Structure 1
Amino acid sequence: MLGNLVWRVMSPGLDKSMVWYESCASAVEMKPPLLTVIVAVFNGAATLQQCIDSVTHQSFPYKELIIIDGVSQDGTIDLLKENSEQISYWISEPDNGVYNAWNKGLAQAKGEWICFLGADDYFWDTQVLERMQRALQSVPSDVRLAYGQVMLVGTDGKSLYPTGEPWGNFKVRFMQGLCLPHQGVMHRRSLFVQKGKFDESFRIAADYELMLRELKTGEAIFIPDIIVTAMRQGGLSSNPSNTIVTMREIRRAQKMHGLYFPSFFWHRAMFRVYLRLLLWHTIGESTTRKFLDFGRHLKRLPPYWTKTNRSN
């Protein structure tokens, strides 16, 4: 390619604009940095195929899919075997939870940028990675986290609303304890080289702790107009008891990184969680969900709680 270009430059009478055009075209044809998608799964046969398809059907070709299974017993392993040609690497063995699985995936990852999904998640459309790759090319080399939006999806499969906003608007709340939409985050490989992997002592908030390691002194970049993934809601994610665990782990992460005093935001969030839990046990889950969505309606917010109840 270079020899051909030199010959053209030396050729008399050659239009210089044509040389520039062909040089640019050759650069476009060069293989862009690889994107790695790491999926952790345990007994996820009901949703894993959609997750896999959303990766393999991407228009962006320079990607790899890594799936780490925790010895599922529901047919997940059969799905992995059936899709083995579409998966760059997969393994099924005992693990210590999602963060242990993601760390195993990191050991196999080759991409410059890496994203993490659960078996319940899937890319929003077939153009996501192509559009994301174009945006990532302009991210400064010292920025190691870039993110778009995540669409929350109810238990009926219908879209609820997207989450994710510009970093300048979100930074203060992140430092106070509100996590970035992790399924929409692209992590530069150098983040893990310099800051380490997920802390497996956390059960729910290791993604927050990892990002706090970086963002207490670094910056993130929000990529607008891209919904990266869909994230199913319901079950564990909408149970107040699990939210309490999450909030406590967030405080532990903050203390680890020098944020010793809980913010007003954190106290308010914990009060709301305990109030929801109290209502849950006094008037019942179903009534509480309706009550909470009535409060959202008064604030002109879309319903959430009545749309994320798996028992409906």
Structure 2
Amino acid sequence: MVGVDNSLPTVSVITVTRNLIDEGRAEAIRAALEDVQEQGCAVLEHVIWDGASTDDTVKLLRELTAEIEARPNFVPIRFQSLLDKSLYDAMNRAVEISQGEYVVFLNSDDLLASPDCLQKAREEIGSNRPDFCFGRTFFVDEDGRKRLSRERKVHSILQRIPFCHNSMLIRREVFDRFGGHDLDFRIVADYDLVLRMLFAGCNYQMLSVPIAVFHPGGISADQRRTALEMTRSWRKNYAPFLVGRTYSDDEMLNWFRKGQLPLEFCVSLLFQCWDRPQLRRAALHSLMVTLRRKLQPWRTWDYFAE
């Protein structure tokens, strides 16, 4: 492609779809495709995986692809429509056919933050080539107004993912090494993947440029279902640091409700991972949050009420 800087990492944008026509999202996917095209040579390809739609989604996507490919200097579109097991299975299978050094996931009804955000991300990554990196996110309120997320640090990861999945670029090789998203999770597989990467010692970079425009909602908006899956991910990833203690499902759900992790877990993780700065900072952050909240009995926290 003309204008490609071979010293910078290549990026594949991944979008998964299914039955967009029936869901009234035809214009949204058109906007998403055009948004990727605006990125120009910053994007190696736009990979679209359709989960064997039963409406006219495949026809629409083929028509939109043909329109785009009739233009000069278009971003190539790699399209596949096959039955998959779930949203995260579709993402995993789309990555399998991608060719970029990094992948970024763009939902069919979301957008990229600006026409040059991926080029700026590539420039910031430069020769660093972190295992994953992330930027901030514009969230769209119900009235259509956009608000920019606060700058978040990874050290808050033990309680919940501190950045939007759509604002994260992951090295394809790293994604493959970890087996992609764990299909045992239908809501928080992205969070589980980040936890696994951090506990394995992967390095990351925080980007200054916002990456995605996200419309909140969908299955992840169900706080209780999300919490139940998060407790399963915590059991899976925190088991070596629970100092022989067995916690009930209700106890772990209360961790989510209050935004507090057990002091003994935080201390155990802190000392067992003292030589791993990323986890040490995360353990210390969670320890301080829990201590501070325990010293404020007049205040209550309930993330189920959000």
TM-score (norm 2): 0.68
Of the candidates 154, 164, 179, which is equivalent to residue 141 of structure 2? Answer: 154
Q: Write out per-residue CA displacement over residues 110-132 of structure 1, whole angstroms, 9 at most, x where no aligned residue.
A: 11111112212210110111111
Q: Write out per-residue CA displacement over residues 105-155 of structure 1, whole angstroms, 9 at most, x where no aligned residue.
A: 11111111111122122101101111111111142x4x3011101111123
Of the candidates 197, 206, 222, which is equivalent to residue 222 of structure 1? Answer: 206
Q: How does 1:136-285 map to 2 (within 5 A)?
A: 136-139=125-128, 141=129, 143-165=130-152, 167=153, 170-171=154-155, 173-216=156-199, 217-224=201-208, 226-255=209-238, 258-260=240-242, 267-271=254-258
The Cα RMSD (Å) is: 2.9
SS of structure 1 residue aligned to 2:180: coil
**Greater fraction of residues in helix:** 1
What residue number does 1:12 align with?
none
Tell me, in whole angstroms, the C-alpha distance in 1 between the residues paired with 2:146 and 2:176: 36
Tell me, in whole angstroms, the C-alpha distance in 1 between the residues paired with 2:119 and 2:32: 17
Tell me, in whole angstroms, the C-alpha distance in 2 between the residues paired with 1:177 and 1:259: 17
What amino acid is the match of 1:219? N
Tell me, in whole angstroms, the C-alpha distance in 2 between the residues paired with 1:28 and 1:120: 28
What amino acid is the match of 1:126? P
Of the candidates 95, 103, 111, which is equivalent to residue 100 of structure 2? Answer: 111
What residue number does 1:63 align with?
44
The 1:30–1:95 alpha-carbon spacing in structure 2 relative to 1, beyond 3 Å, is: closer
The 1:179–1:245 alpha-carbon spacing in structure 2 relative to 1, beyond 3 Å, is: farther
SS of structure 1 residue aligned to 2:79: strand
User: 1:265: Cα distance to partner?
Assistant: 9.9
The 1:30–1:100 alpha-carbon spacing in structure 2 relative to 1, beyond 3 Å, is: closer
User: 1:268: Cα distance to partner?
Assistant: 4.4
Tell me, in whole angstroms, the C-alpha distance in 1 between the residues paired with 2:55 and 2:140: 23
What residue number does 2:33 align with?
52
Larger radius of gyration: 1
What amino acid is the match of 2:82? E
1:77 aligns with 2:61: no
Count of residue pairs the alignment pairs up: 239
Tell me, in whole angstroms, the C-alpha distance in 2 between the residues paired with 1:121 and 1:67: 14
What amino acid is the match of 1:220? Y
Percent identity between the two aligned chains: 24
Q: Write out per-residue CA displacement over residues 73-120 of structure 1, whole angstroms, 9 at most, x where no aligned residue.
A: 444222211122355211122211111111111111111111112212
User: 1:40: Cα distance to partner?
Assistant: 1.3
Tell me, in whole angstroms, the C-alpha distance in 1 between the residues paired with 2:78 and 2:4: 28
Q: Could you tell me whether the CA contact under 8 Å between 2:139 and 2:146 is conserved in 1?
A: yes
The 1:146–1:248 alpha-carbon spacing in structure 2 relative to 1, beyond 3 Å, is: same
What amino acid is the match of 2:99? K
SS of structure 2 residue aligned to 1:39: strand
Tell me, in whole angstroms, the C-alpha distance in 2 between the residues paired with 1:134 and 1:249: 37
1:40 aligns with 2:16: yes
Unaligned stretches of 5+ in structure 1?
A: 1-26, 273-304, 306-312
Of the candidates 118, 127, 141, which is equivalent to residue 129 of structure 1? Answer: 118
Q: Write out per-residue CA displacement over residues 3-42 of structure 1, whole angstroms, 9 at most, x where no aligned residue.
A: xxxxxxxxxxxxxxxxxxxxxxxx9854743210111112
What amino acid is the match of 1:79? L
Tell me, in whole angstroms, the C-alpha distance in 2 between the residues paired with 1:102 and 1:259: 31
